[in-house]
Structure 1
């Protein structure tokens, strides 16, 4: 199965993995750069923090460097980064870490409940620190009276402005990322389904081609076996009467010629279907897997060749007449009102009678034969029965492939009909078939 771009990207990401928790080099560069920027910011703010806390300046700078460098771990431990930023908020440092850490947390796979709690803590810590700093600054200015709500409102807006944008942007990026992953999974699943569909369609197409080859072979067997059997019978009779009755010999020779021409005509019609020209398409790029599946499904539907115009029940009289001309005693009886059936039903009924008469020529030379056809409500029935073979009749020496009865049974059962054959008590043989009218 051909891999899609989504699966190839996933495989490439897996192959590139090896930089600890990063999957790409640019991710390493980005996080290290952000960690360096945050460390420099916290180091500069650590100078003021050291002065307010009464610590040596180098200690404040070192503390700021360590705190700011935590941002490098944002992809691996986003919760820890946000907790560190909340912890250093009273020291008035880590603003870059607070913004980037909150964005990373919101875009990660951390449960929404934890994101909400940590975002609320970040907002509350920023609000308190901002409120205290504003109040401290205004206490030293006696000329400005801001009012009761000025400091809380300003502190709220500043804390919201610092926490809300990274939070919502991170939630959007996380949702978009999950959507893309879902689309990749659906694309891979669809690709697998299309590949399976293409395989099944190809199997159906191959099955249809086998069925069509079997059908053509059966048709050729019916035509060749019956016509050639009659030709051999007439040729045998011609050999017997050539010197005694020249006129009958001429008649038999003409019948042999007619039979040969009819056999060639029917074979030519069937072979013409196989030889129908197919235009060679121009070279085109290989279709996509989904297009291959559709093409294979279409090939499965159209694989069988178009049925050629075959014989029908109306041709039974001529068929029986050919056997009579070959010297066979055949009685044809029809029950019910004749009507039109599906072409495949009429052709199958004709072939059953044809093959049964051919078997009589082969195996029961000189036997009296009865052909019965019955038109019923929703079906048509046919029966070919012959009596015992005439011992005085000369054996034509026709070979038997043993596939005649098998072919008849396959034809009938393929249409949902019933086929029965076997010897009779009188020493003959009977072939019976019933076909549904609709096929």
Structure 2
């Protein structure tokens, strides 16, 4: 039995025992005006004590859930109460919870045996105490209730087991989808950046032997170009791996952004504050692009802003939209019209391309001497409709 199933079982058994306490209370109210015998009082105390021990002491509850055979003791206690008070006592109401608990804790075959033992014991007590009692409730109604409550407990148990199994299958399916998305994203990244660089290196390497024979000085320039391209490919590969490690689909987006902000602050020495408003998240593709845009914005702060503080804010906007802001208090720059990056800010073009890939909008505002604000807004309607 998994931890989730144990917790659920413990809660349901607790509810059954609360019902037992309520049944004892109802039975006592029903006996107002009658003489309370010592046997009656002892039965009430024993039934109440067993219920309170489960409800008040977690160690007792865990023991019962981990060792369902302990319910056999409760079954014997129930039969002893019936034998002591008789099958017509109002406290018979308090024995119904035993049937429900057996159905919840035991597998179906064992629960059926428990129901048979409870019904047999009930009818046997009735026969042993004297002439068999006549009446529908004694001969058929109460035994049928015992069987029905065992069946109800068994149905609840198996329904929860199916729910847990379905939830587990759903988690596995989501994990498989996330892994497929990661593979597709890796393929796109390699094709868009690293693949093109490596293709250029391959073409240059093919031409190099020809230039070595025909024009050695040109071959030297080609060799230097190959070295530069190889360094660029290595840098692109490292950046790709960093971005892939930064995206952790199994963790909430707020946690990943907070770690990204913390790591950047530790690496650069620039203070970075992360703030989140509302529980928000994105699809695997969109959050990957959002994390890459935040990383590029923070890199721009480090390289160009000469800032002492930066902040990253994640906000759940209206109609389910998500807004991510990166703000710094650096020197700022003049924002040009159009989609081109300003001088020395080539990363803005890539950020706008990534925003378009995620079906998002990117707004950059900056004032000289007053810092820069980058705002990424992701609309779930565009995101789910395939806008990329």
Which TM-score tier does this pair reach, normalised by the shorter chain? Answer: 0.3 to 0.5
Structure that is richer in helix per residue: 2
TM-score (norm 2): 0.34
TM-score (norm 1): 0.31
